[in-house]
Chain A
């Protein structure tokens, strides 16, 4: 369950910050800054919930047929992730270890219900087009994963920031997939943005190219899988490119003598 890739080095930092002396406070601030930076890098790139952890694939692949849908679900997930991280972190001292998972799930479910009711009230169109995938945020492993791996062990501020960065990383992947699939499938961008952002947003709709007929593969789930695979490949290619730039070849070549049939 726990995927503890996130750093754990700054527990209880905000509680002790007032009591320490002046010299230590500067060092602690630097440490906090490094922690925030690390959290941002982890959430957006190194440990991106969409690209690296591959969590929450079901909504990721199902609702990204347009940018608007992707944006709606991305924002909803981000909101739930931040709120649940804050709550889990706030009550972390009083939660018995044995029943922490049900408690986390209850907290997440409560926030998802709030978000769902809010979207039902204010953005009814997008609420309808997201359908079952909005309540299904409850089962998004990215959220419970962060609650378990980070928020339950770290102070509120860091947890909130972690939620923001993880949610942002997830939302960016959703939107990227939405852009690819909407352009390939319908030749448009931000089609139906007025459903999410209000009537003024209908001017956002861009006709990228005129298609005689929809490219159904991009709109149907297989297109999502293919686009997702290409995104992951791209990320890995960039990573290995950076790595190959960084590595300075200092290893010594060890000569070995092999004995086989040829020799």
Chain B
């Protein structure tokens, strides 16, 4: 008989995929609740739609691929993808946007590449970017915070708006999004981009009601919720701290440099942190164990790169927010970054192959 010789690692933590996915789903709760409190039922309805679609798509593809269905269907990854898509979408977007986006994310973004663990791109972000490219009009149907909306957006109204484009009382999406003085309200990032293009200074644009008292009405609390959930994940060691920290740091440095050079045309550092999808991207999307870098040094590099890209797309790009694009670009470069940041094997000299 021979001794069983196993290679490292020798101590395992017995976390299974469903447990990890469930933990991440729970961690999004503070952010989702904040979203519900400030923006109403829209995103919850989209999350429900996305999850239903995801489960149907996953079931269909798994049975076509003759895979163990019960094992892979409930590993939670499809639910997490659907959840992220539902969170990202504009609250008043029509229902078919969610369905098409989720179908693309699950079928093409994940399963066609070979399922969980083989996908080069984060499926949720691939689906989101596909929607952003394909339906530019529908993907800008952002809803202003409930306090600014004249129409009472209760559950029924939101549901009929998503399904038919009109509230139960017959207001169209455009009317819902229009403020009392007849101007269509966009997200803070969008407003800032448009106004800067019009030649207004940042100080002038943040007088707009969508910015609220502090940074970005509603959005700051949503981001704070995701920050809280992310810190919980780091504390539970579900995600590595390197990626979010370096991402936030990089975004901070970039926006600080921009703000120092021309404070009139650049938003403050904290505005970049607490508006748009910054915190969701930092803690829930960039940290995807499949598509991100694997070494610690690599994670830091990916975070830095993503922060730079988000800042560049927000300030110089055509889209108001750039987290999704930055994530996809980082996913693409992750294998290369991994190649150059391979950790030294124990007992080997540096540079020794």
Binding site for B on A (CB under 8 A): 213, 215-218, 220, 222, 226, 261
Q: Is the interface of A mostly helix, strand, loop or mixed?
A: helix
Quick one: closest B residue to A217, CB to CB?
B134
A226 and B112 CA atoms in complex are apart in Å by 11
B137 cross-chain contacts in A, Cβ below 8 A: 213
Check B133 for interface membership: any CB of A closer than 8 A: yes
CB distance from B166 to the nearest CB of A (A): 14
Indicate if the CB atoms of A213 and B138 lie closer than 8 Å.
Answer: yes
Write out the residue numbers on chain A whose beta carbons fall within 8 Å of the beta carbon of B133. Answer: 216-217, 220, 222
Task: Classify chain B's interface size.
Answer: 10 to 19
**Residue ranges of B at the interface with A (Cβ–Cβ < 8 Å):** 2, 4-5, 100, 108, 130, 133-138
**Bound-complex Cα distance A216 to B130 (A):** 9
Q: Which residues of A contact B100 (CB under 8 A)?
A: 215
Q: Which of B5, B108, B135 contacts A261 (CB 8 A)?
A: B5
CA distance A215 to B138 in the complex (A): 11
**A213–B135 CB distance below 8 A:** yes
Residue pair A217, B5 in contact (C-beta under 8 Å): no
CA–CA, A218 and B4, complex, Å: 54
A172 to chain B, nearest CB (A): 24
Instruction: Tell me whether B134 and A216 are in contact (CB under 8 A).
Output: yes
Q: What residues on B are CB-neighbors of A217 within 8 Å?
A: 130, 133-134
**Residues A226 and B134 in contact in the complex (CB < 8 Å), given A261-B2, A261-B5:** no
Instruction: Assess the A216–B2 pair: CB atoms within 8 A.
Output: no
When chains A and B are docked, how far (Å) is the Cα of A216 from the Cα of B133?
Answer: 7
Residues of B within 8 A of A215 (CB): 100, 134-135
Closest A residue to B130 by CB, please name it.
A217
Please give me the residue from chain A that is nearest to B138 by CB atom.
A213
| Residues of chain A within 8 A of B2, CB atoms compared | 261
Residues of B with C-beta under 8 A to A261: 2, 4-5
Question: Which one of B4, B108, B135 contacts A216 once the chains associate, using CB atoms below 8 Å?
Answer: B135
Would you give the shortest CB distance from A182 to chain B, in whole angstroms? Answer: 15
Minimum CB–CB distance from A149 to chain B (whole Å) comes to 33
Write out the residue numbers on chain A whose beta carbons fall within 8 Å of the beta carbon of B136: 216
Which of B5, B100, B134, B138 has the most chain A CB atoms inside 10 A of its CB?
B134
Residues of B within 8 A of A220 (CB): 133
Which 5 pairs across A and B sit closest by C-beta, in order of nearness?
A217-B134, A216-B134, A261-B2, A215-B134, A217-B130
Alpha-carbon distance A222/B130, docked complex (angstroms):
10
What are some 19 contacts across the A-B interface (CB < 8 A)?
A: A213-B135, A213-B137, A213-B138, A215-B100, A215-B134, A216-B133, A216-B134, A216-B135, A216-B136, A217-B130, A217-B133, A217-B134, A218-B134, A220-B133, A222-B133, A226-B108, A261-B2, A261-B4, A261-B5
- The complex places the Cα of A261 from the Cα of B3 at a distance, in Å, of 8
Looking across the interface, which residue of chain A has its beta carbon closest to that of B108? A226
Nearest chain B residue, comparing its CB with the CB of A212? B94
Which residue of chain A has its CB nearest to the CB of B165?
A: A212
Distance A7 CA – B39 CA, assembled complex (angstroms): 68
Q: Give chain B nearest CB distance to A228 CB in angstroms.
A: 13
Closest A residue to B5 using CB positions: A261
Give the chain A neighbours of B134 by CB distance below 8 A: 215-218
In the bound complex, residues from chain A placing their C-beta under 8 Å from that of B108 are 226
A213 to B131, CA, bound (A): 12
Question: How far does the Cβ of A210 sit from chain B's closest Cβ, in whole Å?
Answer: 13
In the complex, given contacts A217-B133, A217-B134, what are 9 additional A-B residue pairs having Cβ atoms less than 8 angstroms apart?
A213-B135, A213-B138, A215-B135, A216-B133, A216-B134, A218-B134, A220-B133, A261-B2, A261-B5
Chain B residue nearest in CB terms to A233: B112
